Amino acid sequence: MPEYVAPRGTNDVLPSESPKWEYVEDKFRKTCRLFGYKELRTPTFEYTDLFTRNLGETTDVVSKEMYTFQDRGGRSITLRPEGTAPAVRAYVQHNLGASLPVNKIYYVGRIFRYERPQAGRYREHTQLGIEALGSIDPAIDAEVISLAVCFYRNIGLKEFELKINSIGCPECRPKYRQALVDFAKDRLERLCPSCVRRYEQNPMRMLDCKEQNCQSALVDAPKLIDYLGPECREHFEKVQSYLRDLDISFVIDPKLVRGFDYYTKTAFEFVSGKLGAQNALGGGGRYDNLVEEIGGSPTPAVGFGLGLERLMLTIESLGIELPVEIGITAFIASMGEKAHMAAVKLAYELRNKGVSVDMDYTGRSLKAQMKIADKLGAKYAIILGEDELARQAATVRNMASSEQITVSLSELADTLA
Ligand code: HAM
């Protein structure tokens, strides 16, 4: 074991793997742009009260998972444990609502949660997220969901399930909450200690518990969708009808509650059977009161966050081949000092003309340099020796066929292109 290793629950993405990650991130960005979303970049850390006051005090994230510390100025700072509150903070701070009625933003960012690490659950993860702020139209809920579906399909992922629910609004929830509490009252001894606490503080969160005993104790619990008021019910029905119009299949999961208190109405999650216990590929929903709570004027909104690490695990376990280009066009092998000096110049010239090129910096034998060219996935090796230099030419070797031709240095870029 080396002396220094990455902190528990974090991951390194090595250069051999990173082209796949770049590819997926790039597809996400392109999909967002197709749907009219633009990137918002916010800081990795925020003042702590943005999260403590707006995500829900009793949520797992706020009560036990935040990376919070005092900075040298004595301010309480938290590494962002999710992306929605920071996006809304920026929306309000920069008054984005004044310039456009609907603001559609996306982000790719690192998220920090002090969770117990296991496959698919890390202390630092990456979220690909979007937020659409400014519309109450159920069509935009469907747009948000369809963007995720389109993105997953664009990278070749077809095996996932979309679960949806409506968790109502502050008007319909109290009645449901009471019904749930009444139901759970006689079953408390079957619940885990966390759920007993949830029963007191935030009963709906019991529905989300992964413990088998809790799930079976609550299997017949009342369903929130049966308690929705007319407005929430109509909204939920319209979202479903739009999804059907878009040919997006879904199942209604009455127990889907999501992990933050800001959600209202639509809640959804994408799950993959390939992920084991941490099966949520991504999730989101509507949060019609958060902008106002953060200090803006009332602005309905909806969005999602998709975990990049879990997506990469799913892609791998399904054996999906991503069409990533990992090789370079050419590797310049040189022999002798003069040729080496010429190689430095040639590499720079070719790169400036848009040809991806690497070269030898170790002074190894030609055979060893060819091996490196092979490892780097070079399509061609450009061999420069004293002879070639004297003729202002290079030998170009096709690495796959071993065919060799001589090309003058001035025509090299065009030939390779
Ligand atoms: P979330 O469900 O907490 O939602 O996280 C979104 C996704 O991030 C999860 O579905 C999962 O794929 C990934 N994820 C969460 N925690 C971890 C972890 N510890 N390790 C690896 N991946 C993880 C949110 O954060 C909301 N802000 C999403 C949202 C945006 N809702 C509306 N707009």
Residue of 107, 118, 125 with the most ligand 1 atoms within 8 Å of its CB, for mutation: 125
Listing DSSP states for 346-361 in one string gives HHHHHHHTT--EEE--
> How far away, in angstroms, is 110 Cα from ligand 1 center?
11
Tell me what pLDDT residue 130 has: 98
Are 332 and 149 in contact, with CB atoms under 8 Å apart? no
CATH domain 18-172+228-317 topology: BirA Bifunctional Protein; domain 2 (3.30.930)
| Candidate of 82, 151, 271 to mutate for ligand 1, largest count of ligand atoms within 8 Å of Cβ | 82
Mutate to test the pocket of ligand 1, among 67, 122, 127 (most ligand atoms within 8 A of CB): 127
What local confidence, expressed as pLDDT, does residue 277 receive? 78
Say yes or no: CB of residue 289 within 6 Å of ligand 1.
no
**Ligand 1 nearest atom to the CA of residue 121, by list position:** 20
Q: For residue 173, report the distance from its CA to the centre of ligand 1, in Å.
A: 23
Q: How far is the CA of 282 from the centre of ligand 1 (A)?
A: 6
Cβ atoms within 10 Å of 9's Cβ, excluding its own? 17
Boundaries of CATH 3.40.50.800 in the chain?
330-416
CATH 3.30.930.10 domain residues, the chain: 18-172+228-317
300 lines ligand 1 (CB under 6 A): no
- CA end-to-end span of the chain: 45
Question: Closest Cα to atom 5, ligand 1: which residue?
Answer: 305
Fold assignment, 330-416: Rossmann fold (3.40.50)
**C-beta 83 within 6 A of ligand 1:** yes
Q: What is the pLDDT of residue 172?
A: 92
User: How far is it, in rounded angstroms, from Cα 118 to Cα 133?
Assistant: 34
DSSP result, 307-357: EHHHHHHHHHHTTPPP----S-SEEEEE-SHHHHHHHHHHHHHHHHTT--E
The rounded average pLDDT for each run of 10 residues, N- to C-terminus, in the chain (417 residues) is: 95 95 98 98 98 94 97 98 98 97 98 96 98 98 98 96 96 92 92 91 88 91 94 98 98 94 97 85 98 98 98 95 92 95 95 96 95 96 94 95 95 88
Q: Which residues, 6+ apart, have CB-to-CB distance to 327 below 8 Å?
A: 376, 377, 378, 379
The reported pLDDT for the residue numbered 208 is: 84
